[in-house]
Structure 1
Amino acid sequence: MSLEGLNMLWQLVAAVFAGLGAAGVGLILRQLSGKRLPRWIVPALGGLGMIGYQIHYEYAWFDYKQAQLPASAEVVSTETDRMFWRPWTYIVPLTTGFTVLDQSNLVTQEAGEDRLVEFILYRFERQHTDMVSHQTYLLNCDAREMVPLSGDNREPRYAELRHVEGSTPLFQAVCPNA
């Protein structure tokens, strides 16, 4: 069984136990009320316990992943989403992805009067299994232009050249003195 499959199994076990615990609370409340509370309170609280655990797990994902990053990693952007099948995300949007810059991998070069910094961005996405991808970039700190690099020889893909605003967290992290 893969690591992701094992993780999903443990999440299912945790959700079942959260439901059983909440159902137990419902049973105790029913007993304490002298059985005046309806019988459906037990499975209803069990279901709410499972949903509550799932909501907690989804919202804790970003903090959990961020805690696993090395000290040299800096989150430079996050993406949130609202989903109609998760109505609570309209109140507090769910973090579904984030981009990380590892400060220890910055390579600075001078090209004429321009300062160029080569770096790797790591992208984490929350899906049914966590997705991680990475891409090497070259950023001209003076012109504020960024281009992805491809292949082992790090050829710039000029068709994907883009301008980077100086106020963005990515630019501030890569070119702090620009």
Structure 2
Amino acid sequence: MIWQLIAAIFAGLGAAGVGLILRQLSGKRLPRWIVPALGGVGMLGYQVYYEYSWLSAKQQQLPDSAEVVDVERDAMWWRPWTYLFPLPVAFEVIDRNDVRTLEADGQRMVEFFLYRFEKRVLERVTHQAYLMNCSAREWVPLEGEERQPNRAALQTIGADDALYQAVCEAP
């Protein structure tokens, strides 16, 4: 967070410097407010760049065995450009090294962890163990140290869902 603030300040100073140079090159015909205006535009531009590059920067930090299965994008009224280009605010990942395949009653079951990365003021990472019945296309969270299925939270999943394909159709 502190490095993001420092980078925004330097982006603002750099853009204000460009404004100052432009004002000097024009023989001071450009108005004085061009310098702080360009400084503000530079800081805002850096912030927009940082927010849109957050997803790819986080994905580069993941191990090779990680696979992104869902990206959540959102629009915010205080960022009007996000209505045209929704901002990535969260994504979900499975780690192929943590996937366990089981056989029960002739049905293929897969136990895995689903990691959720959320972009907030402070980034948040949560994880949850799940059990997916690939034959019935149902999945349920596993709770507690003994990983007991929470049958009340049983959900069905479509065959075209990226999570189903990553867990059940992967080699």
TM range (shorter): over 0.9
Alignment counterpart, residue 107 of structure 2, candidates 88, 104, 114: 114
**Structure 1 residues 78-102: Cα deviation after superposition (integer angstroms, max 9, x where no partner):** 1001001111111210000000011
Q: Deviations over 1:102-154 (max 9, x none)?
A: 11111001002100000000000000000000000000000000000001111
CA distance in 1, matches of 2:39, 2:63: 38
CA distance in 1, matches of 2:117, 2:5: 22
Give the secondary structure class of the aligned counterpart of 1:123: strand
| Cα distance in 1, alignment partners of residues 168 and 67 from structure 2 | 14
Gap regions ≥5 residues in structure 1? 1-7
Deviation track 1:22-52 (CA, whole Å, cap 9, x = no partner) reads 0000000011111111000000000000000
**SS of structure 2 residue aligned to 1:147:** strand
1:64-143 equivalent positions in 2, closer than 5 A = 64-143=57-136
- Give the letter for the 1:141 counterpart: C
Change (3 A) 1:177 1:104: closer
Q: Deviations 1:3-29 (Å, cap 9, x if unpaired)?
A: xxxxx1111111010000000000000
From the superposition, tell whether residues 20 and 154 of structure 1 become closer, same or farther in structure 2 (CA, over 3 Å): same
C-alpha separation in 2, matches of 1:79 and 1:127: 13
Superposition misfits of 4+ residues, deviation over 6 angstroms: none
In structure 1, give the amino acid aligned to 2:23: R
Q: 2:51 aligned with 1:58, yes or no?
A: yes
Which of the numbers 22, 28, 32 marks the counterpart of 2:15?
Answer: 22
TM norm structure 1 = 0.94
Q: Tell me the distance in 1 between the aligned counterparts of 2:31 and 2:168.
A: 63
CA distance in 1, matches of 2:55, 2:46: 15
| Structure-2 residue corresponding to 1:164 | 157
**For 2:92, what is the secondary structure of its paired residue?**
strand
What is the Cα-based RMSD across aligned positions, in Å?
1.1
Mark the runs of 5 or more structure 2 residues left unpaired by the alignment.
none
Number of equivalent positions: 171
